[in-house]
Amino acid sequence: MTDEPTTLLPFIDDVCEPFWSGCREGVLRIQQCPQTKRLIFPPRPGNPWSPRVKPVWTEVKGTGKIWSFVEPHPPLMLDFTERAPYTAIVVELDQDPTIRFAGNLLKDQNGEINDYKYEEIKIGTPVKVMFRKITEEVTLPLWVKT
Amino acid sequence: MSDFSIKDLSIKDKTAIVGIGQTEFSKKLEGSEVELASEAILNALDDAGIKLSEVDGLASYTQEATSEVVLSRNMGFGDITYFGQVAYGGGGGPGVVGHAAMAVATGQCNVAVAWRSRKRASGGARRPWSKGAGVQEDFAVNYTRPFGVIRPVDEIAMLTQRYMHEYGATREHLCNIAMAVRKHANNNPLAMMRDKKMSRDDYMNARWISRPLCLFDNCLETDGALAAVIVRADRAKDCKNKPAYIHAFAQGFHKQHQVMQNFFCDDPLKGPAWVVARKLYELSDIKAKDIDVAQIYDAFTPLILLSLEGYGFCKRGEAPAFTENGNLEVGGKLPINTSGGGLSEAYVHGFNLITEAVKQLRGTSPNQVKDAENCLVTAGEGVPTGAMILRK
């Protein structure tokens, strides 16, 4: 087990870099089809709504509602094991409810992923995005109740 | 305007599974995956009464660590004129058999072997985050794993929680599923859980894996191998055992589907099964209301709820009620997973569901459904998937 990573960071490449640089800047930036205006997430090189038209990047409003949640228990990996049981959520964006983000619900800017117990989370709760620096490259979008 | 119907093109009833074989199922078996595969395939050929030298088609999952060439060099097959694999892990199964059936029906080969062999200690069975656990080409994990949604169970638990919210399903309904399938396993001498009874209390007090899913919502961890032999219908008549005709099969995934982390499309609870079912019933004379028994992929109990709806046994949101009153047990409205499934017999990515379907049609199942004329087999909901209908 000595070679096991202790946590999972996203693999960032040219295609998705604008999303992650957005997070570092404190904004939620995702792709959009310039023709149909449909939003696109997760990031990708192709545009499923108009295939010959490259997706463009646009800022979206970081408010939404809890769409679902889970409470993982071990066996997990070190970082997450230490904080287990914690909760993870999926948020649907107010701007477009088919755009959803996995994340965690924290009590506040300084919160932790195990702030809330399973029983305390309700689907439909309004939330807003916050950003937490993890490494130089990775800032994660997390969520707090509005 | 076409003069023919799609059905005229289909392979309906043109092939049959005439042999099935397997190894023992255990948490740990001796021997490598290729040795287990070999054992299962030889057993299947014996069961069919067909010589090894006649095999000219090989069908497997892309997940298989053993390639067709390696298998061949170990087993001593002659020339192979069809080889193909189906992707997406537990989404294979019926697709693997279906591809073999297409190859046999069209004359690309005459005797096809479909197989799956798995040892937990081999590559691919490690934790999702392990080094060497396999390149995760699916980009969505970059947007789920950093938040602790790490394992398949976490991903399915997320969908389950949403399903419970939308339709009022509760743990009681998942418990109905776990208990029905465990009951079947208790009657099956080959099942890993044959001696382990499960009460409602056992289920309700079981430890969490990814809440709302507990230990008994998850399939077993198994070493094992299984195989099936497929030939054309005219040959099938002359084989040792009653043939299980492949009446129809289908594959499918929906627009904007995301493998396993299916949170990013318009309607995450309307998964690939719906696409499969539409094609399956288009090709099949046997419809949902005609199905006598079903083997539904059960890596997780909630997949049964989603599949019951996807394959048309009830409307959306009605699956929880469908699990009640012993409906899923032998004697009920739709007996499922009659050998114990992945939850209680063995988890080899659904291949034991295929072999059990054949047994039902031969009349040799440990939980035989009286006068079963047909059997549905599904692959895993939540990934690009497939299904087939076998018949007498």
pLDDT tens, residue by residue, B131-166: 444 334 457 899 999 999 999 999 999 999 999 999
Contacts of residue B265 in chain A, CB cutoff 8 Å? Answer: 98
ipTM confidence: 0.96
Nearest by CB: A70 against B131, B211, B265:
B211
Q: Catalytic: which of B61, B281, B311, B347?
A: B347
Sheet bearing B294-295, strands edge to edge: B82-86, B57-61, B112-118, B224-232, B15-22, B244-252, B385-391, B374-378, B294-295
Residues A140 and A81 in one domain: yes
Residue B92 corresponds to which tokens in the numbers above?
């294979």
For B294-337, how does the pLDDT look when each residue is reduced to its tens digit (9 = 90+)?
Answer: 999 999 999 999 999 999 999 999 999 999 999 999 999 999 99
Instruction: Indicate the pLDDT class of residue B8, thresholds 50, 70 and 90.
Output: confident
SS3 of chain B: the string is CCCCCHHHHCCCCCEEEEEEEECCCECCCCCCHHHHHHHHHHHHHHHHCCCHHHCCEEEEECCCCCCHHHHHHHHCCCCCCEEEEECCHHHCCHHHHHHHHHHHHCCCCCCEEEEEEECCCCCCCCCCCCCCCCCCCCHHHHHCHHHCCCCHHHHHHHHHHHHHHHHCCCHHHHHHHHHHHHHHHHCCCCCCCCCCCCCHHHHHCCCEEEECEEHHHECCCCEEEEEEEEEEHHHHCCCCCCCEEEEEEEEECCCCCCCCCCCCCCCCCCCHHHHHHHHHHHHCCCCHHHCCCEECCCCECHHHHHHHHHCCCCCCCCHHHHCCCCCCCCCCCCCECCCCHHHHHCCCCCHHHHHHHHHHHHCCCCCCCCCCCEEEEECCCCCCEEEEEEEC
Q: Residue B353's domain is classified under what CATH number?
A: 3.40.47.10
pTM (2 decimals)? 0.95
Q: Is there a single domain that holds both residue A94 and residue A123? A: yes
Tell me, yes or no, whether A15 and A67 share the same domain. no
Concerning whether B347 is annotated as a catalytic residue, the answer is: yes
Please give the average per-residue pLDDT across B17-41, as a whole number: 97
User: Which residue of chain A comes nearest to B142, CA vs CA?
Assistant: A10
The answer to whether residues A104 and A139 belong to one domain is: yes
Q: Does a structural domain hold residue B139? A: no
Number of domains in chain A: 2
- Interface contact B154-A103, CB threshold 8 A: no
For residue B386, give its domain range: 6-124+220-391
Is residue A54 scored above 60 in pLDDT?
yes
Residues A146 and A80 in one domain: yes
Structure tokens at B77: 């097959």
> Is there a domain that residue B210 lies in?
no
pLDDT for residue B277 is more than 80: yes
- Whether residue A102 and residue B165 make contact (CB cut-off 8 A), yes or no, is no
Between B130, B131, B256, which is nearest A48 by CB? B256
Assigned domain for B175 exists: no
Q: Which two tokens stand for residue B381?
A: 């909901």
Angle at B102 between CA B92 and CA B79, to 5 degrees: 95
Task: Report yes or no on A125 lying in a domain.
Answer: yes
Q: Is B264's CB within 8 Å of A16's CB?
A: no
Q: Which entry of B61, B167, B297, B311 is annotated as an active-site residue?
A: B297
Structural domain includes residue A111: yes
State the Cα–Cα distance between residues B56 and B59, nearest whole angstrom. Answer: 10
Which residue, B364, B349, B346, B339, is CA-closest to B244? B364
Asked if A33 and A82 sit in the same domain, the reply is no
Per the structure, the complete domain to which residue A129 belongs is given by 62-146
- What mean pLDDT is reported for chain B? 94
CATH classification of the domain holding A97: 2.40.50
Please check whether residues A47 and A77 belong to one and the same domain: no
Q: Does residue B124 have a pLDDT over 90?
A: no
Contacts of B256 in chain A (CB under 8 A): 48
**What confidence tens digit (pLDDT) does each residue in A107-135 have?**
999 999 999 999 999 999 999 999 999 99
Query: Are A69 and A80 found together in one domain?
Result: yes
Q: Pick from A9, A70, A76: which is nearest to B146 by CB? A: A9
Residues of chain A found within 8 Å of residue B148, distances taken between Cβ atoms: 72, 76, 80, 86, 88, 104, 113
Same domain, A85 and A41: no
A23 and A75 share one domain = no
Q: Evaluate whether residue A6 is within a structural domain.
A: no
Could you tell me how far CA B326 lies from the centroid of its own chain? 22
Judged by CB atoms closer than 8 Å, whether chains meet at A98 and B165 is answered as no
Statement to judge: residues A54 and A67 lie in one domain: no
Q: Angle formed by the axes of helices B272-283 and B302-310, to 10°?
A: 40
Task: Report the domain count for chain B.
Answer: 1
Contact (CB<8Å) A43/B139: yes
Select from B142, B162, B266 the Cβ nearest to the Cβ of A10.
B142
Asked if B375 contacts B233 with a C-beta cutoff of 8 angstroms, the reply is no
A67 and A47 part of one domain: no
B176: in domain: no
